[in-house]
Amino acid sequence: MGGIRDVGLDGASAGRAPAGARPEGCSVRFERGAFRIADARHLAAEYLAMPGDGRARALSDSVVQAVQLVVSELVTNAVKYGSGPVELSLVLEADVVIVTVRDGDTTLPSPRPANPDRVGQHGLEIVLALCQDVDIRREPAGKRITARIATHC
């Protein structure tokens, strides 16, 4: 299971890549309620399916599915509990996919003790189980959550 650290990346920005190659990263900013969670999962799958420079093989289905689930949980939490616009950024490095979600609420999420009787509110538990680590950071205008998913399961 991954851990939480109170340090993080400065975020990912969209990059330009040669035709037919995956950009360095992709990022989308949207108003809460104006973007479906399914759109976020689809964006992640499309970005990870793009050809990558120097990558010997495609990412496994299990890695893509893990990234989609992390994206879904983090964006859902930002939409449900956050405020202001939400930003989703994805970056694929050699051995890790970095998912960053920002929103305008400064309240930091914290993991809850496992409770099989609790209905809902398991999103952060799921994210922690799928990731190498998760960074949660308060920013001047909200918060940023950065999750790192290994590309080799």
d(CA 123, CA 74): 7
Do 32 and 79 contact (CB within 8 A), yes or no? yes
> What's the burial of 74, exposed, middle or buried (CB within 10 Å: 0-12/13-18/19+)?
buried
pLDDT tens by residue, 52-63: 655 556 899 999
pLDDT tens by residue, 18-48: 444 455 789 999 998 788 899 999 999 999 9
Residue 28's DSSP bridge partners are: 88
pTM of the model: 0.80
3-class state of residue 52 by DSSP: coil
